[in-house]
Amino acid sequence: MSAHHAIARTVLQTVVQVHLGTEGILVGQLTFVQQGRREFSQFAYAPTWLAHPHRFEISPDLPLQEGYQVHKAPTPDDSVFPFALADTAPDAWGRRVIDRAHAKARRANPQLAPPTAFDYLCAVEDSSRVGALRLFQDGQYLQTVQAGGRSTPPFIELERLYTATRAVETGRDTAEDLAYLQGKGTSLGGMRPKCTVLDEEGQLCIGKFPSVQDRISVPRAEVLALRLADLAGIRTAPARCVLLQGTPAALIRRFDRTAQQQRIPYLSAASMLQASRNEDRAYSELVDVMRQRCAAPADDVRELWRRLLFNLLITNTDDHLQNLGFLYDGAGHWRLAPAFDLNPMPGRLRESKTWLSEDTGPIDSVVLLIERCAHFDLRRDEALHTLAEVHGAVARWRQVGRSPDIGLTHAELDDLIEAFEHDQTRVAAALLHQG
């Protein structure tokens, strides 16, 4: 046998236990397999979990059954792990931090292998991993901060976190910056600079920072959008602006933890649909799945319609299915999670990334949403009532934006005008005037 064939058949396996919640209940075993350049994973539920009185499918692609279930990435952009575990892995920003640290390490050790999918999954600190799934290996949770270190940094360190993320963004990061951010800046999805931090009350939060590429005050605009959503009857996570040496950042409380910091299982809408990153999926498909899996499907479906209307009126066009999620209710069903990643985008083409349905295409008008309200369990009069509430909240954008706790200046508000005042807000007003 040639050396080439021997290498090609080398199989490397890494095994970790998957635990659930603060109590650390054993759910199953995850095996990461490398065979040459091929990577895939296998998951098997633990017999104790299959017999547990509160057992549930931790991921929609993992039915409750004995034996290993194999998961391969359908495209290079997808994960080799089951959907619920993939939701806990770092996305673009987190991977950027990890890749920068790895590049520096390779200068000292050129033989260092590139990070695997498993390395990225395990780079997240256990204390801040999204949802309730935890990875356990060799007697400890991954990643557990080494003795003498701290896990999630306290609020007082937010400025230091911002300085380190800005250094990464501008390519001026040091090994110290990267070591500091490892885990703290990698537990969350998305492309923008962010971190995990504890607020003054010890509650887990996301710190979201401005980017060097911003043309508007993105942190302040996001807090504004979350406040308006709350006024529009949409459940949101508590959010506020904080100043770091005069620079605004957004501090948003994590909704996958209880007030006592108990972990709540989480699934993105993409995972609920078992959607590939490269697939075009529609909200109508999500509604069908919500009717099967949600504890109060009618309520959640109606709130989803309210959110789609709100997104249109504030020009939040980054509505991909990773930006919508579900929390487990503990009794076999899921609930729509509070709204997050609401970003007004002036100057953008006003149409949704996710289509309303396969036959309508993207959401680009209030009229389209009203016409399709029945699929969301709404009569036309109920839809118009919801429109009145959402339009009324969005119309207050200048007043709320200039309030002291958000603090947008007149110039910054003018930068946002195209997001809040446009043809669709005028259409909404006309529909309401007609009754």
Beta bridge partners of 252: 206, 239
Rounded distance, CA 30 to CA 14, Å? 8
- pTM (predicted TM-score): 0.92
287-296: long-range contacts, CB 8 A cutoff, minimum separation 24:
287/375, 287/376, 290/336, 293/60, 293/326, 293/333, 293/334, 294/326, 294/333, 294/334, 294/335, 294/336, 295/329, 295/331, 295/333, 295/334, 295/335, 296/335
* Residue pair 24/142 in contact by the 8 Å Cβ criterion: no
pLDDT at position 148 is: 42
d(Cα 341, Cα 91) in Å, to the nearest integer?
Answer: 14
On the question of pLDDT at 169 being above 50, the answer is yes
Q: Residue 147: pLDDT above 70?
A: no
b (16+ CB within 10 A) / e for 215-232: ebbbbbbbbbbbbbbbbb
Alpha-carbon gap, residue 327 to 352, rounded angstroms: 24
Task: Place 188 in a pLDDT band, splitting at 50, 70 and 90.
Answer: low
Residues 298-327: pLDDT tens digits?
Answer: 999 999 999 999 999 999 999 999 999 999
pLDDT in tens, 319-366: 999 999 999 999 999 999 999 999 999 987 899 999 999 999 999 999
| Separation between Cα atoms, residue 232 and residue 389, nearest integer Å | 6
**pLDDT at 327 (0 to 100):** 99
The pLDDT > 90 percentage for the chain reads: 76
Q: What is the pLDDT of residue 347?
A: 85
- The DSSP-derived string for 52-81 is -TT---SSTTS-S-SSEEEE--SSTTS-SS
Q: What is the pLDDT of residue 191?
A: 72
Q: 280 versus 208: which is more confidently predicted?
A: 208
Dist CA 297 CA 291 (whole Å) = 5
pLDDT tens digits for 269-282?
A: 999 999 998 888 99
pLDDT of 6 higher than 70: no
Burial class of residue 9 in the structure, from the number of CB atoms within 10 Å of its CB (0-12 exposed, 13-18 middle, 19+ buried): exposed
List the chain domain ranges.
12-145, 266-434
| 53 C-beta neighbours (distance < 10 Å), count | 4
Topology classification of domain 266-434: 1.10.1070
Please say if the pLDDT value at position 62 is more than 90: yes
Cα 250 versus chain centre, distance: 15
SS3 320: coil
Q: What pLDDT is recorded for position 174?
A: 85
- Pick the more confident residue, 341 or 190: 341
Q: In terms of Cα–Cα distance, which of 156, 257, 248 is closest to 199?
A: 156
Task: Compute the mean pLDDT over every residue in the chain, rounded to the nearest whole number.
Answer: 92
Q: Which two tokens stand for residue 113?
A: 């292998």
